[in-house]
Chain A
């Protein structure tokens, strides 16, 4: 008897869950000093861009996904620094991952070694990110890769930020620019190509929401770039009282000068945004 009631409840719960998801959801997880961004497309495809430090991303995913959903369609690792990579290791262990997008450069840490091992062990398809790639997430949502411009596979970089993945998520009229830890050099390279117009409309930097590069550090967010993106909202993913002093005052000044409103995970916790392709709102 109880079992039956439980089963019926369960089925309805599933149905309601399937029903409700008609919008694009972007959630900038508050996972401390690092990045972890969850995206769910209207068709149900779920992606995670970076995993933050530690394991906090797991509890966030547990909240975001229903109990029975233990799979993610796509993981993006923007670059192999610990504050972007570490959380993804446990994600790989506990969730079934459909595909991984990364740059594939060399990086000498035990964590990155573990990442390589897990990818091999679980036989997960890996796509090396390159400018010009378009990933269709279904329901009219797409993720365009804007950076890196060249192949970094097997290259040992002094500064892994050089190969950092920048991508733009778009749904109808709304768009999000995910910059990872991209520095000013990366920003100017993209600006240069965008202004040259070589690739037509593909490299369109203009976006509604900008994930501010490198947790608001002064190594990123040049004024030219911020102006070119011209967002209605800048999201800064940084930890409370972090030892780096992120976000830097210079970055905050730049954004203030351009009248761009700022939301910070260290102040607001998770920053959850929904979009129906016409307009976006906080959830």
Chain B
């Protein structure tokens, strides 16, 4: 009602600000409604919980292999031989035997509800965002020896085959690093490595965020440009490359979201950092949230890739300016202003600078969120990122090609893997080295959610204010 009143009054006054304000209010209210609708969408499964039952389902995603067990997301379609409205359950089993996506299975055991939300424990909501409303630990599991054959399951099996080729081509920990880079697989990361990655601020590399996909896209762009393909065509080819990659990596919803963000950054590069790209980013974010509102609050991957993309688009120009100024200042200091015209940046330095600019822009954008999520921030992160990221496309490219050769011959893929191994060896050494310092990461108290959101709003307002001021000056 309030919103309606606001719109009506605004129409009378023809005051633009109020129209926009009223519109925002309507959007806000419908957003709240959509979120609570999604939140309360959970099916009522209480009659099933807490007693021993027989249930049947289809393994819906690639099993998540963990150190001592495996987790299966299973679509349960029948309980005690009765068809029911299907729902998803997360089932923890022993590590062996292995199961495949699309496989029919029957279970005998206890289903239980996800833990209730209390004391900031959002695990239940986290599961709900993936549509999971029941858990089961170590029920008796039997394969039914039949499979559902759909395109998605076929892709998932292809992905698994590809993973095995990576494992044969590379020894650990290089295999797990490459799986992280190419497939975003993080669950089988050794604890030590995870800690090193966090401390040196490069965890995003193996999260398959939009950032990673941007790297793939940009790499493809460079290759196509090198082959004298016109830029417009290169852009579409690179986007196609990203799509193929997403299909190969299993096309999970989070991956699709990451790919959309990645393509947006490519688009930003094509369009120049103009007005359209802002709209595109906002629209993409809004559509994703409308489809699944819970990701807004419970999917760190989505939050990180959205903010990193926003950082790349909005903050890069400012960061670049600052760095140029600083470099100019330093150059003046060193040369006394005499030779400043003579000292020109070489292309290699250009690439390094670009990486530095983008890394910093993305890092600044995600900083408050990182503190909110992990309570610590990596101080060496800009440096490690510049040193590591510049080699990422080569590691991914070589790694991908040499692993694919594994479909022909293992020996061949191992031979081809040598350069990729050397690159990853260098990257892991750098990461380990920088994680080794006691000052490499700094621990804050955790930010509260409210403070984090407030910071982002403040930053957004500041940014718009600056832009308006600049416009007025012109």
In the assembled complex, the Cα of A231 lies from the Cα of B143 at a distance in Å of 50
Q: Which 10 A-B pairs have the closest CB atoms?
A: A62-B171, A58-B172, A54-B67, A110-B96, A59-B172, A62-B172, A59-B173, A110-B97, A111-B96, A114-B96
Residue B418 lies at the interface, judged by CB distance under 8 Å to chain A: yes
Residue B414 is within 8 A (CB to CB) of chain A in the complex: yes
Report A31-69 CB contacts with B as 1/0, cut-off 8 Å: 000000000000000000000011110110110010110
Known: A56-B190, A110-B96. A62 touches B174 (CB 8 A): yes
Q: Which residue among B94, B95, B190, B414 has the maximum number of chain A CB atoms within 10 Å of its CB?
A: B95
Is B174 in contact with A70, judged by CB distance below 8 angstroms? Answer: no
User: Please, which residues of chain A bring their CB within 8 A of the CB of B190?
Assistant: 56, 59
Q: Which B residues are CB-close (under 8 A) to A111?
A: 94-96
Report the minimal beta-carbon distance from A114 to chain B, rounded to whole angstroms: 5
Secondary structure class of chain A's binding surface, majority of residues: helix
Per-residue interface assignment for chain A, residues 70 to 108, with 1 indicating a CB less than 8 Å from any chain B CB and 0 otherwise? 100000000000000010011001100000000000000
Can you list 25 A-B pairs with a CB-CB distance of less than 8 A? A6-B419, A6-B422, A53-B67, A53-B68, A54-B68, A55-B172, A56-B67, A56-B190, A58-B172, A58-B175, A59-B176, A59-B190, A59-B193, A61-B171, A61-B172, A62-B172, A62-B173, A65-B171, A67-B421, A86-B95, A90-B167, A109-B94, A110-B96, A111-B96, A114-B96
Task: Count how many chain A residues have C-beta atoms less than 8 Å from C-beta atoms of the other chain.
Answer: 24
A10 and B68 in contact (CB under 8 A), knowing A59-B190, A110-B96?
Answer: no
* Cβ of B188 under 8 Å from chain A: yes
Chain B interface residue bracket vs A: 20 to 34
- Chain A, range 1-44, C-beta contacts under 8 Å to B: 6, 10
B38 at the interface (CB under 8 A from A): no
Among residues of B, the one whose C-beta sits closest to the C-beta of A86 is: B95
**Contact residues of B between 85 and 138, Cβ < 8 Å to A:** 94-97
- Residues from chain B with a CB closer than 8 A to the CB of A68 are 414, 418
The answer to whether the Cβ of A113 comes within 8 Å of any Cβ in the partner chain is: yes
**Contact residues in A for B176 (Cβ distance below 8 Å):** 59
Min CB distance B397 to A, Å, is 16
| Contact present for B67 and A70 (CB under 8 Å) | no
User: Bound state CA distance, A110 and B193, in angstroms?
Assistant: 29
B93 → A minimal CB distance (Å): 9
Provide the residues of chain A in CB contact with B171, threshold 8 Å. 58, 61-62, 65, 67, 70, 94
Contact flags A95-136 to B (C-beta < 8 A → 1, else 0): 000000000000001110110000000000000000000000
Q: Is B168 in the interface zone, CB < 8 Å from A?
A: yes
**In the bound complex, CA of A111 to CA of B167 (Å):** 19
Residues of B within 8 A of A89 (CB): 96
Report Cα–Cα, A65/B173, bound state, in Å.
Answer: 12
CB distance from A92 to the nearest CB of B (A): 12
* Cα–Cα distance between A55 and B171 once the two chains are bound (Å): 12
Contact indicator B67/A55 (Cβ below 8 Å): yes
Report chain B residues within 8 Å CB of A62.
Answer: 171-174
A119 to B337, CA, bound (A): 73
- Extra contacts, 18 of them, besides A53-B68, A62-B172, A70-B414 (Cβ < 8 A), are A6-B422, A10-B418, A54-B67, A54-B68, A58-B171, A58-B175, A59-B173, A62-B171, A70-B171, A86-B95, A90-B167, A94-B171, A110-B96, A110-B97, A111-B94, A111-B96, A113-B97, A114-B97
Taken together as a complex, chains A and B put the C-alpha atoms of A109 and B168 apart, in Å, by 26
B94: chain A residues at CB < 8 Å are 109-111
Q: In the complex, what residues of A have CB within 8 A of residue B414's CB?
A: 68, 70
Q: Which residues of B contact A55 (CB under 8 A)?
A: 67, 172, 188
Task: Give Cα distance in the complex from A62 to B68, angstroms.
Answer: 20
B94 closest partner in A (C-beta): A110
B421 to chain A, nearest CB (A): 5
Q: Which residues of B contact A86 (CB under 8 A)?
A: 95
Contact with A along B168-194 (1 / 0, CB 8 A): 100111111000000000001010010
A58 cross-chain contacts in B, Cβ below 8 A = 171-172, 175
CA distance A59 to B421 in the complex (A): 14
CB of B405 to closest CB in A, whole Å: 15
Q: Considering the chains assembled together, what is the distance between the CA atoms of A10 and B173 in angstroms?
A: 20
With both chains docked as a complex, state the minimum distance between the C-beta of B189 and any C-beta of chain A, in angstroms. Answer: 10
Most chain A CB atoms below 10 A, which of B171, B176, B190: B171
Could you tell me the distance in whole angstroms from the C-beta of A261 to the nearest C-beta in chain B? 26
CA–CA, A67 and B188, complex, Å: 21
CB distance from A30 to the nearest CB of B (A): 10
Cβ A94 vs Cβ B167 within 8 A:
yes
A122 vs chain B, min Cβ distance (A): 13
CB distance from A169 to the nearest CB of B (A): 25
Shortest distance between the CB of A221 and any CB in chain B (Å): 26
Residue-wise, chain A 226-244 has the 8 Å CB interface mask toward B (1 for contact) of 0000000000000000000
Q: B381-425, CB under 8 A of A: which get 1 and which 0?
A: 000000000000000000000000000000000100011011000
Closest to A63 in B: B173
Within 8 A of A (CB), among B59-88: 67-68
Smallest Cβ-Cβ distance to A83: which chain B residue: B68
